[in-house]
Amino acid sequence: MSKLLIVHESPCVGGAEFYLFNVVKAAIQKGMTVQVLLCESHCPVELDATLESVGAEVIRTDFNLSNPKLWRIFPKAWRLLKSLEFDFIFFNKRIDWYDFRHIILAARLLRKSRLVAVEHWHPDGWPIYPHKQYRLNLNLRQTWLKLKCRIYASCFDEIICMNSRARDVFIAQYGYPSGRLHVIYNGVDTERFTFSQTARNAVRTELAIRDNTQLLVVAAGRLSQEKGFDVLVDAWRLLDEVIKERAILCLAGEGVERGNLEKQVISLGLQNQVRFIGQYENMPALLSAADLFVAPSRRESFGLSIAEAMSVGCCVIATQAGGIPELLGDTGIYVEEEHASSLSQAINKILTDPVCRQKVASLQCSRVRDVFSLDKSIQNTLSLIKGKTNRWHR
């Protein structure tokens, strides 16, 4: 029986964690023994119970990756990895696996397993400064970072990206070896995320939505800066008065920006129109109840919440950040990033045109079910981990 070790770090539960759960479940179903190393103390405690419930062994330690000193992390990683038995090691991190570099180096030098990583991060291109002296300094910094990234990236047998735009940036600007870099899109559980009229009625009753003439708009994800919910709140202020009287905005999720967003809502006098509903447990039901899903992201590697809304048949409006254009394709209704006016115009248009809204929702639902199935994503991931394919998956 082959043994898989997954190294994970994240302070929250989001797309990277759902990806982790699905990889673990699929690996165990394939007969693999799975251990999950949670390598920071801030990893949410609820991860343990969820992972153990599907048969994984959870190992907790604190590498203090926020202070990544080679002399401190490397010996600890070496001792821990040497004590464990595994055939494959998979690095899963929400932002950037580069923080794992000293653990990666220890694993490579031990030469006891196949190493694979996933990039949930969609990197920005490096800026170009107008003055020569700053451009020179930036080039030196870029060159040094590119060299370091190339060294550590070369330790892997394979690296997975969530979208092809990110892959291109990692190759061109970070020096990743192109032959080891693959695109495997995240996937959505289309059996779970399906429309339910019963759930729609129940959630709308729970949220005190009066009747079918009242419209529910949902935005979901971590309440963090990269999700752009502050732009959405600004856009809500600019909506036509007729729409504002008929529509309610629900923000589903938790995060460090919740306090700031609540203050923003109060300062704009939108308390009766914008609701914070926290980490909603039954997302398929909430999305069934919604008339529109909005993703005003500044940064997005794949956009799992967008894919879930598409699968349920809820019309989606989104920016073109990161991998979103590859997810929505030509079914997307796109708005400019950081542009509240553009977003408000799109919301006005879709909410006042139910025929267009239904047509777009149907096209988006068909696309996600045809292209972004969870089974396809996870099976391709496991094949790459086991070394059974060298294809660049799309």
- What are the tens digits of pLDDT across the range 173-231? 888 999 999 999 999 999 999 999 999 999 999 999 877 789 999 999 989 999 999 99
Residues 326, 347: one domain? yes
Which domain does 288 fall in, by range?
197-371
First to last CA, the chain: 29
Residues 99, 66: one domain? yes
**Within a domain: residue 254?**
yes
Say what the pLDDT of residue 133 is.
58
119, amino acid identity: E
Residue 53 has pLDDT above 70, yes or no: yes
Say what the pLDDT of residue 389 is.
55
Q: Is the pTM of this model over 0.85?
A: yes
Query: Between 126 and 21, where is the model more confident?
Result: 21
- What are the tens digits of pLDDT across the range 253-309? 999 999 999 999 999 999 999 999 999 999 999 999 999 999 999 989 899 999 999
Beta bridge partners of residue 334, listed in sequence order: 318
- The answer to whether 213 touches 237, Cβ cutoff 8 Å, is no
Query: What is the CATH number for 323?
Result: 3.40.50.2000
Q: Which of 24-28, 111-115, 213-217 is least confident? A: 111-115
Q: Which residues contact 71 (CB under 8 A, 6 or more apart)?
A: none
Say what the pLDDT of residue 390 is.
47
Residues 296, 270: one domain? yes
Give helix then strand counts, H and E, for the chain: 16, 13
Say what the pLDDT of residue 392 is.
40
Q: How confident is the model at residue 240 (pLDDT cuts 50, 70, 90)?
A: very high
Q: Kindly list the strands in the beta sheet with 316-318, ordered across the sheet, starting from the edge strand earlier in the chain.
A: 274-278, 247-252, 215-220, 292-295, 316-318, 333-334
**Within a domain: residue 394?**
no
Torsion angles phi and psi, residue 103, rounded to 5: -70, -40
Residues 43, 145: one domain? yes
Residues 329, 216: one domain? yes
Task: Look at the block and give the residue holding tokens 């109060």.
Answer: 266
Query: Between 150 and 295, where is the model more confident?
Result: 295
360, amino acid identity: V
Residues 14, 65: one domain? yes
Count of structural domains within the chain: 2
Residues 233, 273: one domain? yes
Residues 76, 164: one domain? yes
- The answer to whether 151 touches 176, Cβ cutoff 8 Å, is no
Residue 74 has pLDDT above 90, yes or no: yes
Mean of the pLDDT values across residues 53-72?
90
